[in-house]
Amino acid sequence: MDRIRIVGGNELNGAIPISGAKNAALPLMIASLLTDDTLTLENVPHLADVEQLIRILGNHGVDYAVNGRRERQNEGYSRTINFTARNIVDTTAPYELVSKMRASFWVIGPLLARMGVAKVSLPGGCAIGTRPVDIFIEGLQALGAQIDVEGGYAIASAKNRLIGNRYHFPKVSVGATHVLMMSATLARGETVLLNAAREPEVVNLAECLNAMGAKIEGAGTSTITIQGVDSLSGARHRVIPDRIETGTYAMAVAMTGGDVLLEGARADLLQNAFDVIAQTGAVITQTDSGVRVTRNGQGIAPVDVVTEPFPGFPTDLQAQFMALMTMSRGKSRITETIFENRFMHVQELARLGARIALSGQTAIVDGVPKLKGAQVMATDLRASVSLVIAGLAAEGETVVNRVYHLDRGFERLEEKLSRCGAVIERISS
């Protein structure tokens, strides 16, 4: 099993290209199930989750071509992939595929909308909370689907097409918003989604669906209206830059000091997080070619944050921000409101010398003057990169184990950081 070795203490200086957003690419890929034409997606990141979803879509009969060739390897950071679901050969998403990645459950919506039936295993993914699929099932039932859960599978049918309806999400859910929005594009009549997720990835998906012939209004607000159509066509669409990767590298610079241009990044996709990072002492500037992050080494100011749905502070940056606060000049409070079990990185940061106390869903971080390298274990995707950020600033050597989590969401992380002066390498077992 691969590990990442870091020798901390170097500032970061240079440029880091920001990849396409995983959280946007996955629903866009799944949207290919809605049409028998080709959907061409630009700026698709090369990640383990993307490759896994390609396998899942292939199981349903979706063909793909990377930059015009049916192959997986590409030297660049950005890929163009053609997805063609001309013939759906199987409407079952089996446990052995879905259990490896939670987002693969989302195929239930497009399969149901286009084929009228779907049998999808209940999902797996990061162990950061229960994240039940009740909202997905309830929402599809509101559109007229018949759904039973048997033997670990959601078995769904809508023999006479889904039917438009009003549905109020009991809580904001990005995944459920993706699924119901995709499903409603082929439903009969009008669907209105209330308390919908407002994330940029939802907007990116709506723009793609509209390019395919859907009629969606309101994406990016809490009320989304969809007029169902009989069929969708193919389209060409670009995946937005990854705001979580952008925020992660911005925090790395804020922690180590230095001057880094995040190429292709867009500040508008995570303005709240940038405002918070700026309060710690970093300077963030939008330029024509990306976002520039600098810090002059004067020390890190403590800042309190509460995770919230967009446009609030993202839960996917909570672990990284905690790593940054471990070396702040004082105490900070970090409150997690999205997932109930997303503090598993606390004990690993403590191995590096961090002082963190937990009180319910709040972590109180008492900054220390220095961290010291150690062996640490990644517990989930975002927690794993928080350990990398801490290791970049720690004295001596840090080894992060179980880095397959990183490969799910960060494209060539060690290569990007080493280009900016970090001493970091992958060690293959």
Binding-site residue positions for phosphoenolpyruvate: 22-23
- How many CB atoms lie under 10 A from the CB of residue 308? 15
- How many CB atoms lie under 10 A from the CB of residue 271? 14
Q: Which two tokens stand for residue 233?
A: 């066509």
DSSP string, 108-151: HHHHHHHHSEEEEEPP---SS----SHHHHHHHHHTT-EEEEET
Measured between alpha carbons, how far is 393 from 9 in angstroms, rounded to an integer? 5
CA dihedral 65, 411, 100, 196 (to 10 degrees): -90
**Active-site residue list:** 126
| C-beta of residue 226 within 8 angstroms of C-beta of residue 185 | yes
Name the CA radius of gyration of the chain, rounded: 21
Residues flagged as binding site for UDP-N-acetyl-alpha-D-glucosamine: 102, 171-174, 316, 338
| C-beta of residue 414 within 8 angstroms of C-beta of residue 425 | yes
Is the sign of the CA dihedral 82, 87, 88, 89 positive or negative? negative
The C-alpha angle 133, 134, 135, rounded to 5 degrees, equals 90
Alpha-carbon separation of residue 154 from 179, 199, 351 (angstroms): 14, 26, 41
Q: How far is CA 224 from the centre of its chain?
A: 21
Residues flagged as binding site: 22-23, 102, 171-174, 316, 338
